[in-house]
Amino acid sequence: MPTSKDVALAAGVAQSTVSYVLSGKRPISDETRKKVEAAIEQLTYHPNAGARALASRRTRVIGLVIPFIPELHMASLMEFVSCIASTARQHDHDILLVTEDEGADGLRRVVGQQICDGLILMQVAGEDERLPVARALKVPVVLIGIPRDPSGLVCIDADFELAGQMAVHDLAAAGHSTIGVIAWQPEVVERQVNYVDRFVRGTNQAAKELGVKLIHVVGGTDVGTISRSVDEVLGRTTGQPAFIAPEGIVQEILLRALSARGLTPGTNVSVIGSASPALAELQPVPLSTIDLRPREVSRRAVQIICSLLESGSEGPHESLELVPPTITHRSSVIRPAKAKAS
């Protein structure tokens, strides 16, 4: 690997000059700087991250600010992380994980120390303390999630409102006039991530249009809570019951609670959940799912921030993109018997 001495010889300057160009500690003329940068480029035939950062003043690193908190379904979260990392590599960038412990100060630190060129923020709350800092930073910031006030911010997320509408429409088409909606666990609701409100708003809108009765019940991570919620829905349902469970960890407990009551998805109860195709197929009855397309959301987040980085324009930037969900039909929803041919 070439050293600063090699670069100095190639550029015809003192080794200390190379150091000043790379560190920015002293003013250097444009002509000298260009000589040093050209020498770096010439000597670095297969440039590593450090050499490119020195030559371009960019780290080619994207900071991913992610909350590692107990109440989140980590398998779902890691699906985002995995796709963000692989997509970043396709765009010749690396990912630096930044935990949420530092809050807004963490954003200032990684940007102020020039550790990364831009930031992707996950699990954005409705009133998020990080947002004033995100708006003020001179580097691109992309939010996976939508705060209450998205002005001056670049946001991308799944269209949770449409997902709620689609789930209700699907169960209504299967003949259900009463549908139980199992909420996200209270810890997630308390974080005021607004995808919860958007999903509920979508279910309510579709139910009003279709004349369907919705029963919104509490979610949780313990069998007792979900059992009580299931019993409430069953006690207020006429005909065959139906459930929507948009959160993965809640849905797993729901299926166990239904089984304990002699209810089998697709036979005497309908269930639409949210799970990866692999997990949905592994259920005793393959689960019909709302696919919120986390991999597409992740890919688009990286594509957007890389586009902003390549354009070189300073913030703030503002845009909002929603990725439409899909419903994958498997076997957990009761389908009306086809009319016999006369």
Same domain, 280 and 303: no
Look up the pTM and report it.
0.79
pLDDT confidence bin for 73, thresholds 50/70/90: low
Residue 336 lies in a domain: no
Which of 44-48, 225-229, 337-341 has the highest mean predicted lDDT (pLDDT)?
225-229
Same domain, 239 and 119: no
Q: Phi and psi for 180 in degrees, rounded to 5? A: -90, 135
Helix (H, G, I), strand (E, B) or coil at 145: coil
Same domain, 153 and 219: no
Of 292, 311, 333, at which residue does a domain stop?
292
Residue 165 lies in a domain: yes
Number of other CB atoms surrounding residue 1 within 10 Å: 9
Same domain, 127 and 154: yes
**Cα 96 to the center of its chain, rounded Å:** 16
CATH number at residue 313: 3.40.50.2300
Residue 125 lies in a domain: yes
Residue 37 lies in a domain: yes
Same domain, 176 and 263: yes
**Cα 36 to the center of its chain, rounded Å:** 41
**152 vs 130: CA distance, rounded Å:** 13
Q: Phi and psi for 316 in degrees, rounded to 5? A: -80, 155
Residue 117 neighbours by CB under 8 Å, 6+ apart: 58, 59, 60, 61, 62, 93, 139, 140, 309
Same domain, 272 and 164: yes
Q: Print the domain residue range for 68.
A: 61-158+294-325
Residue 337 lies in a domain: no
Q: Is the pLDDT of residue 52 over 60?
A: no
**95 vs 85: CA distance, rounded Å:** 6
Q: Phi-psi bin for 223: left (phi > 0), alpha (psi -120 to 50), beta?
A: alpha
Residue 342: predicted pLDDT: 34
Please report where in the chains the tokens 């300073």 appear, as a residue: 314
Residues 274 and 255: beta-carbon distance below 8 Å: no
Same domain, 282 and 165: yes
Residue 46: predicted pLDDT: 38
Residues 157 and 195: beta-carbon distance below 8 Å: yes
Same domain, 261 and 188: yes
- Count of domains in the chain? 3
Residue 141 lies in a domain: yes
* pLDDT tens digits along 138-195: 889 999 999 999 999 999 999 999 999 999 999 999 999 999 999 998 888 887 788 9
CATH number at residue 29: 1.10.260.40
